[in-house]
Amino acid sequence: MDGTVIRARDVRMRYGRAEVLRGVDLDVRAGEVVALLGPNGAGKTTTIEIFEGFRRRSSGEVTVLGADPGKGGGAWRARLGIVLQNWRDHPRWGARQLLAHVASLYERPRDPDELLAVMGLTEQAGQAVSRLSGGQRRRLDVALGIVGRPELLFLDEPTTGFDPQARREFHELVERLARDEGLAVLLTTHDLAEAERLADRIAILVGGEVMAYGTPSSLAATARAASEVRWIEDGELRAERTADPSRLAFELHGRFGGPVPGLEVRRASLEDTYLGLVATGPDARDDEPEIFENSGRAA
């Protein structure tokens, strides 16, 4: 492979007459963190499950770590790390006992005690899984996902229930694994700040289609094209949308010969772009250009 660990082209998924995925294209490379964003029902979980080999697609081409995930065997699965939204397994096992058991299934596992320390679970090592708090259980889920040193890690809402300190430490861990070990990560999250912090590229999935795919900076640049400048003139509130709000503010300053009454510059954020795409769905293509970077599609 050329460093691409996930390659998806025109992936479609139908449940009866309902088409949940309508031609998803996506690439993920080694050492890269990709965030998959979208509202509930957009098709994120279905997409992830197809890549993991848990669900068979209706049509399209998918290659994950050089194999069709629908045909991947045990050796292929051992190269994946998977953190689901909710696990309810082995409630009576101790946290360390469960982690050590899973570690024993791999050839080169991480040290369970070191991993518990990284996740802030040393004091809960002997505690039954069922008695862990929601945040503690989530951290154990992540530890279980990476104990086998995977080449590709799927994270489905990984920091749900994390306190700010635990979330920061987890972010640093993911960044270190991607940078130092070449781990590829496909992350789903509703936290846009988390996506901007972790992701090398962000894919926005709406209505079963990838509406935008690019670096956080490229998405933010598109958002800035919708900036709005407001001011008061002749006793009335004026507003103008522009791709260059600084220039417009400068021109207004010249026109007024000094401070501009009520001047306000509202720069659209990545959140605005995301919410705009979610609100308009696939019809957004009629009004705004798609953003695709190095994903096999034309920009």
pLDDT tens track for 108-134: 999 999 999 988 899 999 999 999 988
What's the confidence (pLDDT) of residue 291? 47
295 part of a folded domain: no
Same domain, 208 and 232: no
Full domain range(s) for residue 258:
227-267
Inter-residue contact 85 to 161 (CB < 8 Å): no
Which pLDDT value is given to residue 290?
Answer: 46
> 86 in a domain, yes or no?
no
The answer to whether residue 63 is domain-embedded is yes
pLDDT one-digit tens code per residue, 47-95: 999 999 999 999 999 999 999 999 989 999 999 999 887 666 788 899 9
Q: How many domains does the chain have?
A: 2
Q: Do 203 and 239 have their domain in common?
A: no
CA max distance for the chain: 76
Residue 132 lies in a domain: no
What Rg, from alpha-carbon coordinates, does the chain have?
23
Entry pTM: 0.78
pLDDT for residue 274 = 78
User: Residue 118, exposed/middle/buried by CB under 10 A (0-12, 13-18, 19+)?
Assistant: buried
Is 88 within a domain? no
pLDDT digits (tens, 9 = 90+) for 157-212: 888 777 888 788 888 888 988 988 899 999 998 888 899 889 999 999 998 999 88
pLDDT in tens, 5-57: 999 999 999 998 889 999 999 999 999 999 999 988 889 989 999 999 999 99
Q: What is the CATH number of the domain that holds 30?
A: 3.40.50.300
Bigger pLDDT: 297 or 152?
152
User: What is the pLDDT averaged over residues 93-107?
Assistant: 95
234 and 203 in a single domain? The answer is no
User: Among all chains, which residue has been given the structure tokens 């988390």?
Assistant: 194
For residues 162 and 179, what is the distance between their CA atoms, to the nearest angstrom?
A: 23
- Do 234 and 213 lie in one domain? The reply is no
Which residue from 212, 199, 207 is spatially nearest to 291, judged by alpha carbons? 212
Same domain? 231 vs 211:
no
Q: Clarify whether residues 159 and 213 are in a common domain.
A: yes
The answer to whether position 235 is within a domain reads yes
- Alpha helices (runs of H) in the chain, residue ranges in sequence order: 44-52, 74-77, 95-103, 112-118, 134-146, 164-181, 192-198, 216-224, 245-256, 270-280
* Same domain? 246 vs 156: no
Nearest Cα residue to 34 out of 174, 222, 163: 174
Same domain, 252 and 208: no
Distance (Å, rounded) from C-alpha 195 to C-alpha 188?
Answer: 8
The torsion angles phi and psi of 65, rounded to 5 degrees, stand at 50, 40
Domain end, chosen from 187, 218, 249, is at 218
Q: What is the spatial distance between Cα 182 and Cα 174, in angstroms, rounded to a whole number? A: 11
Q: How many Cα neighbours within 13 Å face the side chain of 78?
A: 11
- The answer to the question of residue 75 being in a domain is yes
In a domain, 214, yes or no: yes
